Structure formats: C-alpha cells, structure tokens
Amino acid sequence: METAIEATVETTVETLVRLEKGDTVAKVLHRLDVAAGDVADTVAALASYVRMKSLPIGQAMTVKLQPADEAGAKPILLALTIRPEPRREITLERDGEGDYSVEEEVFEVAAKLQRASGEVDGSVIASAEAAGVPRQPLAEMLRAFSWDVNFQHDIKVGDRFDVLIEQAWTSDGQAVDAGRVLWAELTTGGGEQSYSIYRFKPHNGEEFFYNGEGESVVKALLRTPLNMSRISSRFGMRRHPVLKFTRLHAGIDFAAPPGTPILAAGAGRVVEAGRNGGYGRWVKISHSGGLATGYAHLSRIAPGVRRSARVRQGQVIGYVGSSGLSTGPHLHFELHRNGRPVNPLSMARTALRSRLGGQDLTRFKARVAEIDRVRDSVAVPAQP
C-alpha cells in the first residue's frame, strides 16, 4: 500500500509504503514504476543491511521519487528509508552521479519499567488491557497465576491486579520487545486471597515465576485447560442433555467459542487420540503419579498429537468443538487418578510444586528485595 505523505518541491514526491502479502522491496519499486536498473542497484545496495526475504507484512518504508519529466521516462529513486528492526534505521540515497550509498543509524536501547494496576470489571483480560498492560505480559501473568487461580470461578468484580513490567525501548521511542513481567499480584474472591509472583532464573533451570517463599508457580496440573472460558457443567450426577437420563458427569464442561485452543493440563504421554463414541474427537494424556486427563468434543486434534507422543504442560493439543454427543461448542475435561474419575477442580489445587533451595534461594531473596524496592518507586498511572 502506497500513500503520498509529502511533496517537498514540485520535482520530489515522498511516499510511505507498507509491504503487503507477497510484496518485496523490488516489487514495490516496480509498482512505483522505478526503472529496472535502479531497482536492481537498490536491492544490491541494501542486501548487506536488510534481510530482504524476512521483511514482514506491514513493514514500512519511505520512498522518495523524482517524477518523470517527460513522456515515456521513468521516475528516479532519490532515497529509501527502512527500519528492519526497532534499533536500526537504514537510509539509501542517490548522489549526483546516479550511484546509491547506504547509511545505517543504530539507536541506543534502554529498559524501562511500567506499572499497571486496577480493579476487575467484567474479565481480567479486558480490565488489564484497559489499565495498559501489553498483550504478551498479560498472557505471561495469566499463565503464571493459572496454577492457583480458576479465572472462570475465583474472580469477582472488584478483585484487584497489580503488575510491574520491564520493556526495552529505543532512544527515539520505539518498542524493541513485547515486554515481560517482573512481578505481579492478584487478589481474588472479593479480597479473600492474594497471590504474588516474582520472575527468577535458577542456576540450572528455566526462568519463570515463584511466589514470595521461593515456591514455583508451576504445578503438576493446570487449574483449567483453557485460558479463558466459563464452567457450564460441573463434576457429579446430572441429567444428560442429549440422552435425557441421570448419570455421573465424570468431568467438567467449559463453554468456549469454537476453535479455542485447548492446553495439555500437564506434561505426559498421549495414550488416546481420535474418535471415541459420544466423546467425539478425544485426547487422553497419561501423567506421572497415576494421573490422566481427557479432553472431549474437539473440533480437531492439533498436529503431532497422536498415540505415544510426548506433550509438555500448556502445549496446544486440540481445539474446542462440538463433536460426538454434544449440544454446542464446549470442552468436556476429565481427570482420572489410578483409573477413577475425580473432580478436576479439587485435585488441581493439591498438585505438588517445587521449591528453591541453597544458593538459588539466597539469590531469589535478594532478587525479591530488589524488585520490591524498584516496584515501590514506579508510579501507577492514573486511570481515565
């Protein structure tokens, strides 16, 4: 897409271009009717600075042209500016001899802290977005709390969240990354329960989140296998909505839009994947400790999820649907212990988690003190 943004003098036109699907720098210049020789020279000059084949859809560049001054002539490319990544800006210019030269400007990058807090009004996602929490840190926060908090059951209007985010920015105000959570706190149940998480990397482990006592937020099982949904039917005896007789409902139903990703509640091995009678498309995963989880009525099973395949906790294993005996799109989720169905909500609360020790715990306590000190110095923006 090309948009003329400036005509500095009669003989110069500056155009802002955003790459569309299938576009390349060369295709854009050809579309602007730049001479083939100039296009080739431009691509050759930029090749050492820009990965031409890696430019994403929506990539912006500014093209400065001298319009053709007579019939049949081609416009002359005078300059082209492109920013292939936030910290680097590449400018190509044509000199009086018709040769192209390239200059690269590298911007300084610094980490900045942002704090956001607010009350839940509706959903945590909508409330956090309204408070200015960026998308990726919000997803991190939701995942970290998901082992302790059932976002469909535990959250009430008026519950509070508070989050400290670190994000890298260039000296001219361009975001370099999506940001990451350093600390977050969530109060649930109308103020009855409060959870705090701190980002930390153990010496021989992956960086993730721990509570203030040094316990990992990661449990053997996620509280729920969907990021956001609502419980439409609980564990226990009920009248079946299709078969019309009472029997044990051996799991929990989560209402969610068709196609919503379903996450493996825990790491394990797939023991069943395919059609399973009234369950429709079904996946069953065996976990350690005699536990197994089942996922029914899927619209489709994710690629690679097959019998004997290993899956990690949080991996997408399928998508919400309405296959089998089902009255509408939802996920039927089961948890078995030693072959017998148990209530997933009560079992997930008691799943074990690891705890830091030794030098890792010493370093963690120092990190907690540092984050607490820095957090208290960052002002929370006023809500509109």
6-60 residue pLDDT tens: 544 457 899 999 999 999 999 999 999 999 999 999 999 999 999 988 899 999 9
User: How would DSSP label each residue in 10-42?
Assistant: TTEEEEEEE--TT--HHHHHHHTT--HHHHHHH
Shared fold status for 2-106 and 110-218+356-377: yes
Architecture of domain 2-106: Roll (3.10)
Query: What are the φ and ψ backbone dihedral angles of 371, each rounded to 5 degrees?
Result: -65, -40
Domain ranges of the chain: 2-106, 110-218+356-377, 230-349
Mean pLDDT for all residues in the chain: 87
Q: How far apart are CA 32 and CA 182, in angstroms?
A: 47
CATH of span 110-218+356-377: 3.10.450.350
| Mean of pLDDT values over 70-93 | 91
Report pTM.
0.65
What is the homologous superfamily of the domain 230-349 according to CATH? Glucose Permease (Domain IIA) (2.70.70.10)
3-state helix, strand, coil in the chain (%, to 5): 20, 40, 40
262-317 residue pLDDT tens: 999 988 999 999 999 989 999 999 987 788 999 999 999 999 999 999 999 889 99
| Alpha-carbon distance values, 329 to 222, 254, 376 (Å) | 21, 9, 45
194-244 residue pLDDT tens: 999 999 999 887 899 999 999 999 887 887 888 765 665 654 554 545 444
> Is a pLDDT exceeding 50 seen at residue 123?
yes
Sheet holding 208-210, edge to edge: 109-119, 160-170, 180-188, 193-200, 208-210
